[in-house]
Amino acid sequence: MMDMLLETLGKVIIVALPLLGVVAYLILFERKVLGYMQARIGPNRVGVRGIGQPIADFIKAVCKEIIIPTASSRYLFILAPVLAVIPAFTAWAVIPFNENWVIANVNAGVLFIFAMTSLGAYGILLAGWASNSKYALLGAMRCVAQVVSYEIAMGFAMVGVLLAADSANLREIVLSQSGGIWHWFWLPLLPLFVVYWISAVAETNRAPFDMAEGESEIVAGFHVEYSGVMFLLFFLAEYANMILLSTLAVLMFCGGWLSPFEGIPILGPLSAKIPGVFWLLLKVSVFLFLYIWMRATFPRYRYDQVMHLGWKVLIPVTLIWIFVTALMVQYGIL
Amino acid sequence: MAYFKTAKRFAKSFSLIELLKGLGVTWHFFVGKKTTVQYPEEQTPVSSRFRGMLAQRRYANGEERCIACKLCEAVCPACAIFIEAEVREDGSRRTITYDLDVFKCINCGLCEEVCPVDAIVLTSEMHYTIQGRGDNIFPKEKLLAIGDLYEAKIAADREEDKDSR
C-alpha cells in the first residue's frame, strides 16, 4: 500500500515539476515570439538572451503584496485561484507520454480530462464573483458563457475521435492511429480537428477569444483585483491549460508519441529508435507555437460573434462530421 | 446566381483562407529583420540640427563670445534666460550674470537663431540630468564649461549645416 502511494507520488512529482518549468519558459517563449512577430526582439536582458527572465518575473510576483479588497468575499477570493489551478494540473494524471508512461491508465480518460477542463471555469467564475468589482464580474460572466458554449463543440469533436478510435482510453486512441502520418486522425477528421483547435483556443481564453480578459474593454476581466502570487496562480492555470489542450490535440489528432515517419522505408526504422516522448513534445511545441502565432495575428472577436461562431457554426459542423465519421466507421474506411 | 454567391462565401469562410493569409503576414515578420535598437549600447543617429542641451561658446583665443546684447533674453518665449551686463575694465560689454533655467527652456532654438555672435548654441547632447534642487539654473560658468567640453562637436555641426544658416 505504502509502496504504491510513494510510487504514485513520485510519478506525480515527475510530471508536475517539469510542467511548472515548462509553464515558466512558455511565458518567455510567448514574449519572444510575440516580439519577433512585431519586428522586435523581446526580453533579452536577464541572463543570456533573456533566459533568466521567468525566474526574475517569478521572484517579482512572489515579493509583491497580496491585496484583498475590503468589499470582496474573502474566502472565495482566496479559494478561486486554487480552484483554477488544481483542475489544470489534475488532468495530467491520465495523459500518456509514451506507450506505458502514464500516471493513471484510465479507460474513461477523455471524459476525465473533459470534466477537469470544465471545472477550471468555476475558479474563474468565483474569482469574478468574489472580487466584487464590475469588471471582474463582467469578465467572469463572459468567460463562463464562452467556456460552456465551446465545450459543446469541443465535446462533439471528441465524440468523432471516440467513434474513430472505438475507445475512450487515451493510450488506445493513440495506438489506433499507428501507421504513419496519413493514419493519424487529423486527416479523416479534419473538420473536427479544426473545430477542436478553435474550441481549445476559446476554452483557454486566449486571443482572439480572450473575452474574459479583454484588457481594452474590461481592464483585465476576472483577475483585475488579484495581485502577487494569486495572480501568478491564474497565470499558471492558463498556461497549464494551454499545454494540456495542446497535448490533447496531439494525442487525439496527431498520433501522440508515434513517429511521423512510421512505414517509410529508411526513416521509419531510424525514427523508431528515438523515444516517443521526443515526438510528443515536438508536436506539443508546434501547437503551443500555433497558440502564440494566433495571438500575434488575430484581433479579438466581438462578444456576440464569439457566441455566433460557437453555436451556429462550430456545433453544426461537428454534428455533420460526426455523422460522416459514423458512416466511415460503418463502411470500414477508417 | 444568388446560390452561387452563397456557395462562394461559404467556401471562402470555411477554408479559413483569410485567416491563413493573416498568419502568413505575421510569419513574414517573425522571420524578417528586427528593428530593435539596444538603447544604451546602440543609438539611432542624431541630426546635426538636433536641439539639445544649451551651451555658450568662446572664440579661439579663449574670449567669450557673448556681448550682452540681450536679444536672446528678449526673444525667449519661455523667459528662461536672465542677463545682467556691465562694462569690463578693458571697455568691452560683458555679462556678469547669464542664468538659464533649463526647466523653463523649451529647446526652441530661437536664442541661437537670434544671436549675432553665435554665442548661445544648442548642442546635440540630450543625455543630461538635473539631480539637486536649484541645479536647474545653469549659470554662465556652467554654460561656458559645457561649450568648452563640446566645442569640437558644436563647430562640426555648425559647419555641416552652414548652407542653411
Q: Residue B82 has what pLDDT?
A: 92
DSSP string, A158-178: HHHHHHHHT-S-HHHHHHTT-
Q: Would strands B93-101 and B54-56 be described as parallel, antiparallel, or unpaired?
A: unpaired
Whether residue A170 is found in the same domain as residue A306 = yes
pLDDT, tens digit, 9 for 90 and up, residues B47-97? 888 898 999 999 889 888 988 889 999 999 999 999 999 888 888 888 889
Nearest to B26 among A40, A194, A296 (CB): A296
Q: Does the residue B41 lie in any domain?
A: no
A299: nearest CA in chain B?
B22
To the nearest whole percent, how much of chain B has pLDDT over 90?
29
Sorting pLDDT into bands at 50, 70 and 90, what band is B104?
A: very high
Peptide linkage before A191 cis (omega within 30 of 0): no
Residues A78, A46, single domain; the answer is no
Q: Are residues A111 and A163 in the same domain?
A: yes
Residue of A295, A271, A289, A281 lying closest to A250 (CA atoms): A281
Residue B89: the pLDDT is: 87
What is the pLDDT at residue B114?
92
Q: Look at residue B42 and tell me if it is in a domain.
A: no
At A30, the amino acid letter reads E
The shortest C-alpha distance from A315 to chain B (Å) reads: 14
- Is residue B131 one of the residues assigned to a domain? yes
d(CA A267, CA B68): 87
* Residue A131, pLDDT score: 87
Beta bridge partners of B101: B137
Do B60 and B113 lie in one domain? The reply is: yes
- Shortest Cα distance, chain B CAs vs residue A271, angstroms: 29
Nearest to B34 among A33, A40, A294 (CB): A40
- Per CB-CB distance under 8 Å, the chain B contacts of A38 are 29
- Shared domain check, B58 and B114: yes
**AA letter at A215:** E
* Same-domain pairing of A188 and A143: yes
- Say which residues have a Cβ less than 8 Å from residue A63's Cβ, sequence separation at least 6: A228
**Domain closes at, from A47, A63, A79:** A63
- Judge whether B125 lies within some domain: yes
Q: Quickly state the pLDDT bin for B160 (edges 50, 70, 90).
A: confident
**Could you tell me the residue range of the domain that residue B22 belongs to?**
2-31
Q: Which domain holds residue A258?
A: 67-330
Between A270 and B28, residue with greater pLDDT: B28
Residue B36 maps to a domain = no
Domain shared by B80 and B134, yes or no: yes
Grid coordinates representing A110? 477523455
Nearest-CA neighbor of B136 among B111, B103, B90?
B103
Least CB–CB distance from B26: residue in A40, A41, A293: A293
Pair B61, B99 in one domain: yes
Whether B156 and B91 share a structural domain: yes
Residue B151 domain flag: yes
Helical segments of A166-264, H only = 170-175, 190-203, 215-218, 228-253
In this structure, the answer to whether residues B121 and B152 fall within a common structural domain is yes
Residue of A nearest to B10 (CA): A313
Shared domain for A29 and A158, answered yes or no, is no
Name every residue in B having a CB less than 8 A away from some CB of A: 16, 19, 22-23, 25-27, 29-30, 32-36
Residue A41 and residue A17 share a domain: yes
Paired strand residues for B54: B122
Tell whether B40 is covered by a domain: no
> What is the mean pLDDT of each successive set of 10 residues along chain A, which is 334 residues long?
84 86 90 90 85 89 87 87 89 85 82 85 86 86 86 88 85 82 82 90 86 76 84 89 91 83 74 80 91 90 86 90 88 76
Strands B54-56 and B137-138, by their bridges, are unpaired
For chain A, what is the domain count?
Answer: 2
State the SS3 of A11-53: HHHHHHHHHHHHHHHHHHHHHHHHHHHCCCCCCCCCCHHHCCH
> Could you tell me if A316 and A202 lie in one domain?
yes
